[in-house]
Amino acid sequence: MVRVKVMAAALTGLLAVSTLAGCGGGGDSGSGGGKDDGKLVLGFSQVGAESGWRTANTKSIQDAAAAAGYELKFSDAQGKQEKQIEAIRSFITQKVDVIAFSPVVTSGWDSVLKDAKDAGIPVILTDRAVDSQDKSLYKTFLGSDFVKEGKEAGDWLVKQNEGKTDPVNVVELQGTVGAAPAIDRQKGFAEAIKANPNIKIVKSQSGNFTRAEGKTVMEGILQSTPDIDVLYAHNDDMGLGAIEAIEAAGKKPGKDIQIITVDAVKDGMQALADGKINFIVECSPLLGPQLMDLAKKVKAGETVDPRILTEETTFTQEQAKAALPDRKY
């Protein structure tokens, strides 16, 4: 039965559907899926593999599912909403116990979420929000407060420029267009700087949360915008790509151009410790254990908190040096 399910999923075009055997699970393909042996079956649709954050998030979910002894049906949407909708529909057909997903963009989910609800399958949003007005379409949303992250990035910049009136020209590298973290990190930052008219966003463009696009977009901006004081990138990867472009243009990242990013993955923290980034707002990808706990509760019909926030902090260069040796991702 497991094999049939995997094959059916592969035929419908789902990539990377993996079934993780639980501790001591026999791997007997004839023994049926999770429902038969009491194992919780969790369908998870991931955004893709666009960043170091995402890679750490995927690992956290896969490790936590294995540790909990769940059957995880993992599907990678490669950044495409259609693929996520297809994966969720396939999870509904397979009658999984719980569906969790990290929505690529905020809008366009009502219809598939309604189908899951009608099928009696609880849905958990992880990491990113949807803009559905009907909150009964999902049980809870586990993830960070992205507006707060943007605000913390802006607050740091305002503090650096306290008492100064010189113009501060900021370039913003936005995340994926329409994604919750891109919308909210832009909003929070704009709010934080708005009382300081000398701090201006002179260019704001999407780098799609990837290192490659962060680099190419920054190359273009460096040519069109001669006077850049600060780069605010919505994630470390875009910031790291931009650093390559800045160095290639003969400028010193962290000095000629101050750099603020979000995530605090190892590569970002290393660049911060090396003085190439000036400030990072943390966003934890380690959502796996909390997600497994929530899945068990919603399967059992328990009421859970509709919004569960992850804890996060911020890092200066000195703090990054101290934190790096113990960094988990």
What residues make contact with ligand GYE under the rule CB under 6 A? Answer: 50-51, 53-54, 127-128, 181, 209, 235, 237, 262-263, 283
At closest approach, how far in Å is the CB of 149 from ligand GYE? 8
Residue 156 in contact with residue 260, Cβ under 8 Å?
A: yes
At closest approach, how far in Å is the CB of 49 from ligand GYE? 9
Considering the complex, state which of residue 33 and residue 48 has its C-beta at the smaller distance from ligand GYE: 48
Considering the complex, state which of residue 217 and residue 283 has its C-beta at the smaller distance from ligand GYE: 283
Provide CB contacts within 8 A for 137, sequence distance 6+: 109, 110, 113, 114, 116, 117, 123, 130
Considering the complex, state which of residue 110 and residue 267 has its C-beta at the smaller distance from ligand GYE: 267
Return the half-sphere exposure (C-beta side, CA atoms, 13 A cut-off) of residue 125: 27
Greatest Cα pair distance in the chain: 72
Residue 273 in contact with residue 317, Cβ under 8 Å?
A: yes
Considering the complex, state which of residue 19 and residue 315 has its C-beta at the smaller distance from ligand GYE: 315
DSSP labels, 185-218: HHHHHHHHHTT-TTEEEEEEEE-TT-HHHHHHHH
Considering the complex, state which of residue 8 and residue 286 has its C-beta at the smaller distance from ligand GYE: 286
At closest approach, how far in Å is the CB of 105 from ligand GYE? 11
Considering the complex, state which of residue 213 and residue 237 has its C-beta at the smaller distance from ligand GYE: 237
At closest approach, how far in Å is the CB of 51 from ligand GYE? 4
Residue 54 in contact with residue 285, Cβ under 8 Å?
A: yes
Provide CB contacts within 8 A for 73, sequence distance 6+: 5, 9, 17, 18, 19, 41, 42, 43, 44, 91, 94, 96
Place of tokens 């000629």: 256
Residue from 178, 171, 249 nearest 208 by CA: 178
Provide CB contacts within 8 A for 207, sequence distance 6+: 173, 174, 175, 213, 214, 217, 218, 233, 234, 238, 241, 242
At closest approach, how far in Å is the CB of 263 from ligand GYE? 5
Q: Which two tokens stand for residue 154?
A: 């802006």
Question: Mapping DSSP to helix (H, G, I), strand (E, B) and coil, where does residue 269 land?
Answer: helix
Considering the complex, state which of residue 48 and residue 253 has its C-beta at the smaller distance from ligand GYE: 48
At closest approach, how far in Å is the CB of 283 from ligand GYE? 5
DSSP labels, 70-120: -EEEEEE-TT-HHHHHHHHHHHHHTT-SEEEE--SSSSS-HHHHHHHHHTT
At closest approach, how far in Å is the CB of 34 from ligand GYE? 28
Considering the complex, state which of residue 125 and residue 193 has its C-beta at the smaller distance from ligand GYE: 125
Considering the complex, state which of residue 51 and residue 140 has its C-beta at the smaller distance from ligand GYE: 51
In the DSSP assignment, the letter for residue 325 is G
At closest approach, how far in Å is the CB of 54 from ligand GYE? 5
At closest approach, how far in Å is the CB of 47 from ligand GYE? 7
